[in-house]
Amino acid sequence: MAVVQVTEQNFQETIRTGIVLLDFWASWCGPCRTFAPIFEAAAGRHPDVTFGKIDTEEESALAGALQIRAIPTLMVLRDGILLVSQAGVVPGEALDEILGQVRDLDMDEVRRRAEEPPPGAGHADARS
């Protein structure tokens, strides 16, 4: 599958279903240029996955909304749920491993856990 350019306009549609890898980058970023062919090669190995690139210079509002602090940053989502956010160059073998783990996830369990309140939430601390 070809790598798609993701913008603020197509972001929600892009991440809605399936497994999606997003590469946040900029043309002036050396590590981003190093990561680009790794990312594109992985797209060729995983045609069932959506691979998207987000130019942080052109899509600064989107990058800001997603709290991108360093580039390159890789985000991995499945069915619109963010599972991984990692800054830095990720080797191809690691991308393959991440995708294997994401494919194996029980998304019903992920959704259930996402809906649970954090530990201790809703309980007043009597020691105040």
Three-state secondary structure string covering 33-59: HHHHHHHHHHHHHCCCCEEEEEECCCC
User: What is the dihedral sign for C-alpha 41, 42, 46, 52?
Assistant: negative
Catalytic residue selected from 32, 49, 77, 99: 32
Q: For residue 79, indicate whether it is catalytic.
A: no
Residue whose tokens read 């600064």: 60
Q: For residue 41, indicate whether it is catalytic.
A: no
Residues 79 and 17 sit within 8 Å (Cβ to Cβ): yes
Distance CA 2, CA 78 (A): 18
Catalytic residue selected from 3, 4, 26, 29: 29
Residues 1 and 43 sit within 8 Å (Cβ to Cβ): yes
- Point out the residues that are catalytic: 29, 32
